[in-house]
Amino acid sequence: MNVLDIIGPVMIGPSSSHTAGACRIGYISRSLLAQEPLEALIDLTGSFAKTYRGHGTDRAIVAGILGMQPDDPRLPNSLEIAREQGLRYQFRTVAMPRVHPNTAVIRLTGQDGTSVEIEAASIGGGNVLVTRLNGMESAFAGQCDTLIIPHRDTPGVIATVSQILSFSGANIGNFKLTRPAKGRLAMMTIELDSAVPQETIHALRALPNVENVVYLHANPEENGHA
């Protein structure tokens, strides 16, 4: 934490958790889709579901899906902008037991039919935590560069991935493995202290047993001097 977290961030009101954090969740879902979204289905639960209209949580999430940051002055008009740009969105309020009270589930579909689904919570002060990704348990905040690597659960995959990352000079700040069943599809979530070059991502994608590599760049605003 530094002085710019206290005299800041700059954000569209009224609530750091219900507006700024909600926008960030939308932004992360778009980054994970990595293309222009055509359709968004958004489930809100808990306090999000109860108060979203008064806090503009719906506009904040759609703004994030459209690629806006929490301080974007267009955020309050995001629903109109979405209609102009041809993004179809639908909000539902649902009961979700055993999740953080400010939780949203966003399903995005892109132009080529690719889709992504995240469950994320706004945990206070504009900070968020992605708790599920495409049905698999996860845990990342999107504040540092993050790699999400679905892979076949086979011996040596994790070692090879971390070796390639170490050759590129990247330091792993956090590592999480999700493995619903032995030998099946698993997922690595790797938070990095610095950016990694594109050729490293290509090298990781070329590995046997690696299904895909999603590179989520740190939120530019998080660097503290936006």
Partner 1 sequence: MPDYTSIEELVTLAQKQQISLGKLVLADQSAQLEITQEALLHTIDQRLTVMEEAARNGLREDIRSTSGLTGGDGWRMYTYEQNALSGPFCAKAVAIALAVAEHNAAMGRIVASPTAGSCGILPGAILPMMALHGVSRQDACLALLCAGGIGLVIAQKATISGAEGGCQAECGAAAAMASAALVELCGGSPRQCAHAVAIALKNQLGLVCDPVAGLVEVPCIKRNAGGVMCAITAADMALAGIQSVIPADEVVQAMGEVGASLPCSLRETAQGGLAATPTGLRLAEQIFGTR
Asked if 47 is part of the footprint of partner 1 (rule: CB under 8 A), the reply reads yes
Asked if 92 is part of the footprint of partner 1 (rule: CB under 8 A), the reply reads no
Closest CA to 175 of 196, 190, 154, 164: 190
Asked if 73 is part of the footprint of partner 1 (rule: CB under 8 A), the reply reads yes
Asked if 143 is part of the footprint of partner 1 (rule: CB under 8 A), the reply reads no
What amino acid is encoded at 122 in this protein?
A: S
Closer residue to partner 1 in complex, CB, 76/150: 76
Collapse the DSSP code of 184 into the 3-class scheme (helix H, G, I; strand E, B; otherwise coil) and give the result. Answer: coil
Closer residue to partner 1 in complex, CB, 80/211: 80
Binding partner 1 (rule: CB under 8 A), the pick from 41, 76, 172, 209 is 76
Collapse the DSSP code of 31 into the 3-class scheme (helix H, G, I; strand E, B; otherwise coil) and give the result. Answer: helix
Binding partner 1 (rule: CB under 8 A), the pick from 23, 37, 42, 59 is 59
Binding partner 1 (rule: CB under 8 A), the pick from 53, 88, 92, 152 is 53
Compute, in degrees rounded to 10, the torsion defined by CA atoms 67, 68, 70, 72.
170
Q: Which are the contacts of 50, defined by CB distance < 8 A and separation ≥ 6?
A: none
Residues 14-43 that bind partner 1 (CB under 8 A): 14-16, 19-20
Asked if 94 is part of the footprint of partner 1 (rule: CB under 8 A), the reply reads no
Asked if 225 is part of the footprint of partner 1 (rule: CB under 8 A), the reply reads yes
Q: Which are the contacts of 94, defined by CB distance < 8 A and separation ≥ 6?
A: 43, 44, 45, 49, 105
Binding partner 1 (rule: CB under 8 A), the pick from 55, 62, 204, 219 is 55
Asked if 125 is part of the footprint of partner 1 (rule: CB under 8 A), the reply reads yes
Determine contact, residues 63/75, Cβ cutoff 8 Å: yes
Tell whether omega for the bond before 73 is within 30 degrees of 0, i.e. cis: no
Residues in contact with partner 1 by the rule CB under 8 A: 1-16, 19-20, 47, 50-51, 53-56, 59, 71, 73, 75-76, 124-126, 224-226
